[in-house]
Copies of this chain bind each other. A is one copy, B any other.
Amino acid sequence: MDERKKRVLNAIIEDYIANAEPVGSRAVAKKYGLGVSPATIRNEMSDLEEEGYIEQPHTSAGRVPSDKGYRFYVDNLMEKARPTKEEEKAIKDALAGSVMEFDEFLRGFCNVISRLTSYPAMIALPEQARGKLVKLQLVPIHERQVLVIMLASTGILRHKIVDLPFDIDEGEMTRLEEELNRLALGMDMQKLSYTFLQQQLHELGVREKILEQTVQLLRKLFHPQDGRRVVINGATNMLAHPEFRDIEKLKNLFELLETEGKVQKLLDAGGEENLTVAIGEELADSQIRDCSMVIANYFINGQRAGSIGVLGPTRMSYSHTVSLMEFIAKELTAVLDKNKKEID
């Protein structure tokens, strides 16, 4: 694509992002000093339309970028901005507190992201704990209930109340705790599966009763998480955009955001990349139309732990959002690393 055509496409997209209205040849020629007349622009636009980068809502309207157009813009035209000092400060402040109670922390962080981007933000929590097990403690709560606390070398704390299928007294509980610690301390959290530990216990030939009890406890503990694995914030932001004047569209969108599985799927589109932009049709869900997402992964121990995404209209401010999200994911990853070093 020749230089001038690129500039025309760029002008159309940026104008449309700013004003949400079809862009005419006149406006492009006037506002984006290309030094040529509207007629010339019209010819370029005609070509661009033929190639599928822009579309015409109806004959006598201006042009609107297509998904393909946005894709080209994001890949080739968009200038990467940097977050402002204020934005950087807001992000760093949000990360300054304790991130030990990770899920709880991310819930608040999600809010910060949605405010900064002014789009709905969503975070997929890590599927599994990362790092090595540093501490495992059992706190008896009640006859058949025990609070299991696990601290990982990442500095992230997990706890869960486990209903025991057997009575246990304090002495036995201590034994159980010792046994578990001997077994699992220092182990990679991701390998701490039920089946693995069960096998280990057998090999170690632990005393019969404790063995049985431990196995039962572990079975409960590593049962797939029931809690919400994704947090969302700021859906209201979507109301500000004219493309969501339509209640039906809005309803689709909000219903999607309330369906955990679908949000999870959207975020999964981020793959293993640091940062991904999914535009329109590229989104995993056809329930929402005219939307795009910017998805960034965050890492623990160099491994992808979860992802952060913001959803906007396809007409979203890619440049601003991408720069923010890059920074956010980078900072979050950095904080998690720092946390880890402190624990080690």
Contacts and interface: CB of A to CB of B under 8 A. Distances in A.
Nearest to A236: B254
The 3 A-B pairs at the shortest CB distance, nearest first, are namely A236-B254, A239-B251, A100-B161
Interface string A220-264: 000000011000001110011000110100110011001000000
Interface string A122-164: 0000000000000101010110010101010001010101010
A139 B137 contact: yes
A141 B155 CA distance: 9
What is the size category of the interface that chain A forms with chain B? 35 or more
Contacts of A137: 139
A159 B159 contact: yes
A98 interface: yes
11 contacts: A98-B145, A135-B141, A139-B139, A141-B157, A142-B342, A142-B343, A157-B161, A159-B159, A235-B254, A239-B251, A239-B254
Given A100-B141, A141-B151, A235-B254, 20 more contacts: A98-B145, A98-B161, A98-B163, A100-B161, A101-B161, A104-B227, A107-B228, A135-B141, A139-B139, A139-B149, A142-B155, A142-B342, A142-B343, A147-B157, A147-B159, A159-B159, A235-B235, A239-B251, A239-B254, A244-B247
Contacts of A234: 258
B247 A239 contact: yes
Interface of A: 98, 100-101, 104, 107, 135, 137, 139, 141-142, 145, 147, 149, 151, 155, 157, 159, 161, 163, 227-228, 234-236, 239-240, 244-245, 247, 250-251, 254-255, 258, 342-343
B239 A250 contact: yes
Contacts of A161: 98, 100-101, 157
Copies of this chain per assembly: 2
Contacts of A147: 149, 157, 159
A205 B288 CA distance: 66
Nearest to A149: B139
A71 to B, nearest CB: 29
A152 to B, nearest CB: 11
A21 B254 CA distance: 26
A223 B193 CA distance: 38
Contacts of A342: 142
Contacts of A101: 161
A107 B139 CA distance: 24
A155 B141 CA distance: 9
Contacts of A159: 147, 159
B227 A255 contact: no
Contacts of A244: 247
A165 to B, nearest CB: 14
A120 to B, nearest CB: 11
Contact of A236 (B155, B245, B251, B343): B251
Contacts of A343: 142
A262 B234 CA distance: 16
A231 to B, nearest CB: 11
